[in-house]
């Protein structure tokens, strides 16, 4: 894949669409002016935001820090916990609530949360998900400072 394959402005290629890659794509998409760049995430998994940690389907696999300390948006500590409440994502999961009231949803739920914020950008083709594994990277053209 090259910039020419996409045809528009500069290409920001993000290798890996786990939490870090998905968060990078999300913040670029929301902060850059419309059409400023083609944001491409190369990730072999079906969804973006799941990665190794949050793609497990085993319901006993839970996040290991409380939901109130996990967020896609730094400075908004309760962003994930608010999403859980708004979407009812753990309504049928009594085990997600610890004795002290802290929330520990299944890990996959965190992936769904991240993915849900990318989805509008994926539908709008602001972010493209290329479902593949990168085998090599080549430097072409000249770096500018």
Ligand X SMILES: Cc1cc2nc3c(=O)[nH]c(=O)nc-3n(C[C@H](O)[C@H](O)[C@H](O)COP(=O)(O)OP(=O)(O)OC[C@H]3O[C@@H](n4cnc5c(N)ncnc54)[C@H](O)[C@@H]3O)c2cc1C
Residues in the site for ligand X, rule: CB under 6 A? 15-21, 42-45, 51-53, 63-65, 70, 133-134
Nearest approach, Cβ of 64 to ligand X (angstroms)? 4
DSSP 8: S
Q: Which is nearer to ligand X, 10 or 44 (CB)?
A: 44
Nearest approach, Cβ of 34 to ligand X (angstroms)? 26
Q: Give yes or no for a contact between 91 and 49, defined as CB atoms under 8 angstroms apart.
A: no
Q: Is 144 helix (H, G, I), strand (E, B) or coil?
A: coil
DSSP track, 72-106: SSTT-TTHHHHHHHHHTTTTT-GGGB-TTS-B--B
Q: Which is nearer to ligand X, 20 or 76 (CB)?
A: 20
Nearest approach, Cβ of 128 to ligand X (angstroms)? 14
Q: Is 26 helix (H, G, I), strand (E, B) or coil?
A: helix
Q: Which is nearer to ligand X, 36 or 68 (CB)?
A: 68
């Amino acid at each position: 894949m090259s910039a020419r394959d996409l045809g528009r402005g500069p290409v920001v290629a993000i290798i890996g669409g786990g939490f870090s890659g998905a968060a990078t794509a999300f913040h670029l998409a929301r902060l850059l002016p419309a059409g400023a760049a083609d944001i491409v995430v190369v990730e072999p998994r079906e969804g973006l935001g799941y990665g190794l940690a949050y793609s497990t389907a085993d319901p006993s696999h839970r996040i290991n820090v409380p939901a109130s300390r996990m967020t896609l948006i730094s400075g908004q500590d309760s962003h994930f916990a608010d999403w859980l409440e708004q979407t009812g994502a753990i309504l049928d999961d009594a085990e997600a609530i610890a004795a002290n009231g802290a929330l520990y949803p299944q890990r996959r739920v965190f992936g769904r949360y991240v993915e849900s914020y990318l989805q509008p950008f994926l539908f709008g083709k602001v972010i493209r998900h290329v479902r593949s594994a990168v085998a090599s990277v080549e430097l072409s053209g000249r770096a500018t400072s």
